[in-house]
Amino acid sequence: MAKRRTTKKTPAAAKIEGYIAGAGEVVEEKIASTLEENFMPYAMSIILSRAIPEIDGFKPSHRKLLYTMYKMGLLGSQRTKSANIVGQTMRLNPHGDAAIYDTMVRLSRGYEALLHPFVDSKGNFGKYYSRDMAWAASRYTEAKLDPICNELFGDIDKDTVDFVDNYDNTMKEPTLLPAAFPSVLVNANTGIAVGMASSICSFNLSEVCRTTIELLRNPDHDIMSTLLAPDFTGGAQIIYDKKVMQTVYETGRGSIRLRGRYVYDAGANCIDILSIPQTTTSEAIIEKVIDLVKTGKIKEISDIRDETGIDGLKITIDLKRNMNPEKLMNKLYKMTPLEDSFSCNFNVLIGGTPMVLGVRELLNEWSAFRIECVRRRTYFDLHKKQDRLHLLRGLEKILLDIDKAIHIIRHTEEEALVVPNLMDGFGIDELQAEYVAEIKLRHLNREYILKRTDDISQLEKDIAELESILASNRKIKNIIIRELSEIAEKYGQPRRSMIIDAEDIVDEEITETVPDYAVNLFFSKEGYFKKITPQSLRMSGEHKLKDGDEIREHFETTNNTDLIFFSDKAQAYKSKASDFSDTKTSVLGEYIPSRLGFDEGENALYMIPTKDYSGYVLFVFESGKAAKVPMESYATKTNRKKLANAYCDKEPLAGICYAADDDTDIVLLSSSGRALVFRAGDINAKTSRNSQGVAVMKQKKGHRVISAQVLTEGMLGDPDRYRGKNLPHMGQLPKDDDSEQMTFS
375 burial type by CB count under 10 A (0-12 exposed, 13-18 middle, 19+ buried): middle
Q: Where are the beta strands (DSSP E) in 157-205?
A: 163-165, 172-174, 189-192, 197-200
* 488 DSSP β-pair partners: none
Map residue 724 onto helix, strand or coil. Answer: coil
Query: In this structure, what is the dihedral angle of CA atoms 171, 176, 180, 184, given to the nearest 10 degrees?
Result: 140
Q: How far apart are alpha carbons 371 and 367 in whole angstroms?
A: 6
Q: Is 19 a catalytic residue?
A: no
Q: Side chain identity at 238, as an amino acid letter?
A: I
Q: What does the DSSP assignment read for 220-274?
A: T--GGGT--SB--TT--EEEE-HHHHHHHHHHSEEEEEEE-EEEEETTTTEEEEE
Output DSSP code: residue 441. G
Q: How far apart are alpha carbons 190 and 51 in whole angstroms?
A: 8
Output DSSP code: residue 599. P
- Phi, psi angles (nearest 5°) of residue 653: -90, 135
Residues 101, 129, 140, 264: which is the catalytic one? 140
Q: How far apart are alpha carbons 518 and 535 in whole angstroms?
A: 10
Pairing of strands 518-524, 551-558: antiparallel
Length of the chain: 745
Does residue 494 have a cis peptide bond before it, meaning omega lies within 30 degrees of 0? no
CB neighbour list of residue 18: distance below 8 Å, 6 or more residues apart: none
Q: How far apart are alpha carbons 388 and 375 in whole angstroms?
A: 20
Does residue 728 have a cis peptide bond before it, meaning omega lies within 30 degrees of 0? yes
Q: How far apart are alpha carbons 112 and 85 in whole angstroms?
A: 20
Output DSSP code: residue 187. S
Active site residues: 140
